[in-house]
Structure 1
Amino acid sequence: MSVSLAVNGPVGWITFDRPKAMNALSVEMLQNMTSQLEAWRTDPAIRVVAMTGNGPAFCAGADLKQAGAPVGPGELDFLDNIIVFFNLLRSYPKPVIAAVNGLALAGGLETVLCCDIVIAGQSAKFGDAHSNFGVFPGGGGAAILPRKIPANVAKYLLFTGDALPAEEMKTYGLVNEVVADGELIARVQAFGEKLAQKSPVVLIRMKRVANAAADKTAGDALRDEELELRSHQRSYDIKEGLAAFAEKRKPQFKGY
């Protein structure tokens, strides 16, 4: 199987598992990950999703051998599958952590761009790489990367096809933490468990408002937040959180 799936407590793990192909994205991988994300979306036991790669790469991008393959009438082609996967990952209601080991290039970098938190091993490198093969990005490389890091750095990665180390990408704001390679999985698991202790419904609402804010004026974003707060005031979790604070105990959130 091209993707390995595991559940460790409240964290659902998706591992790119084509190490001999540098975990290049295939149609099978994209469909498997999309199906699993859809299943976990409504599973209350899964509070956080983490993504990583098996072998020397996180993900080296799309499998270019499949990119132009013909499909039958009514079937999704490679680009269709890419778009479905990235759109789902980008709008996913639960927190998604990228545990970046090794190379994250092209579609691998675009996967990282869809994640909420990025924790990287010291040996990790990030690059667009599409220009190296005359390929145009389709998962946010040109559209989203300049919103995540300074525009001139994004253009450097886009134009040159070069990759930059994790520590440097941390200075540009793409990476949250850099840890020793051997500590990456344990650190991401611990971080996921920390997030899992929060109210699921408040994280969902925070993520939605934060994601939408970039396309709004400050005033519209604040109004959106105020409306979300009004809805949240009717939730069980806010009542439980306030009661726990008053009673000096740990809250027991239920996610609604």
Structure 2
Amino acid sequence: MNVAYEVKGPVGWMTMTRPKAMNALDRGMVDGMTAQLRAWQNDPAVRVVVITGTGPAFCAGADLKQASAPAEPGEMDFLDAIVAFFNVLRSYEKPVIAAVNGMALAGGLEAVMCCDIVLAAQSARFGDAHSNFGVFPGGGGAAILPRKVPANVAKYLLFTGDAVPASDMKTWGLVNEVVADAELAARAQALGEKLAAKSPVVLKRMKRVANQAADKLQADALRDEELELRNHQRSWDIQEGLRAFTEKRKPEFRGY
């Protein structure tokens, strides 16, 4: 399947294991990761997901050898499958961390942009790369990248196809932290465990409001937040959090 799945404590790890092909996405990888994300969504033991790769690349994008393969009538083609994977990843209710171990290009960069928090190894590099092969992005390269970094930076990456260091992407706002290569996995696990100790329901609700805020007027975004707070006040977790604060103890969240 070219993807390894492992649960370490409360953190589910998806590791792309196709290093000779720069972890380029094939149909099996895309379908497998989509199915695994859906399975973990319904597993309360998995509270955070980390996506990473092996070898010199995080992911070099879609396997172009499969990109033009025809689909059976009524079936999803390869592009449909990749878009479905990105949609599941982008709208996932649990926190998703990208642990970028190497090159993140084209669809690899688009996958990174679907994640909530981006950790990068010092050796990692990021680029759109579609223009290098006359390919048009279909997973957010042109549509989402200008929302993640300044517009002139997005156009530079789109037009040139160049790959830039992780430190530049941190300066421009896509990457949260740059760490030593040997420390990437441990840092991702530690961050995942930190997030997993929070209330799952409050993180889910924060994520939904934050994801939708950019598409709303400020007044509408604030109203959305207020309505979500009203709904959240009915939850077990907020009452448990307040009790724990009063009793000076660590809260025991249940996720509802």
SS at match of 1:244: helix
Per the alignment, residue 227 of structure 1 pairs with 227
Note the C-alpha offset of 1:87. Answer: 0.5
The letter for the 1-side match of 2:125 is K
Note the C-alpha offset of 1:16. Answer: 1.0
The letter for the 2-side match of 1:220 is D
Using the alignment, how far apart are the partners of 1:239 and 1:92 within structure 2?
25
Note the C-alpha offset of 1:35. Answer: 0.3
Per the alignment, residue 101 of structure 2 pairs with 101
1:17 maps to 2:17: yes
Note the C-alpha offset of 1:2. Answer: 1.1
Per the alignment, residue 84 of structure 1 pairs with 84
Per the alignment, residue 165 of structure 1 pairs with 165
Per the alignment, residue 66 of structure 1 pairs with 66
* TM-score of the superposed pair, with normalisation by structure 1: 0.99
Using the alignment, how far apart are the partners of 2:67 and 2:142 within structure 1?
18
* TM-score of the superposed pair, with normalisation by structure 2: 0.99
Note the C-alpha offset of 1:19. Answer: 0.6
Per the alignment, residue 48 of structure 1 pairs with 48
The letter for the 1-side match of 2:85 is F
Using the alignment, how far apart are the partners of 2:131 and 2:89 within structure 1?
24
Using the alignment, how far apart are the partners of 2:70 and 2:142 within structure 1?
26
Which deviations, in whole Å up to 9, do the C-alpha atoms of 1:154-203 show, x marking residues without a partner?
00000000011001110000000000000000000000000000000000
Using the alignment, how far apart are the partners of 1:216 and 1:71 within structure 2?
37
The letter for the 1-side match of 2:186 is A
Which deviations, in whole Å up to 9, do the C-alpha atoms of 1:71-126 show, x marking residues without a partner?
21121101110110000100000000000011000000000000000000000000
Using the alignment, how far apart are the partners of 1:82 and 1:76 within structure 2?
10
Using the alignment, how far apart are the partners of 1:119 and 1:83 within structure 2?
23
Using the alignment, how far apart are the partners of 1:135 and 1:60 within structure 2?
14
Count of equivalent residues: 256
Per the alignment, residue 5 of structure 1 pairs with 5
- Identity across aligned pairs (percent)? 77
Per the alignment, residue 244 of structure 1 pairs with 244
Note the C-alpha offset of 1:36. Answer: 0.1
Which deviations, in whole Å up to 9, do the C-alpha atoms of 1:37-70 show, x marking residues without a partner?
0000011000000000011100000000000001
SS at match of 2:13: strand
Superposition pairs for residues 22-37 of structure 1, below 5 Å? 22-37=22-37
SS at match of 2:113: helix
RMSD: 0.4
> Which 4+ stretches in 1 moved above 3 angstroms?
none
1:206 maps to 2:212: no
Per the alignment, residue 145 of structure 1 pairs with 145
Using the alignment, how far apart are the partners of 2:245 and 2:71 within structure 1?
57
SS at match of 1:135: coil
Using the alignment, how far apart are the partners of 1:32 and 1:222 within structure 2?
38
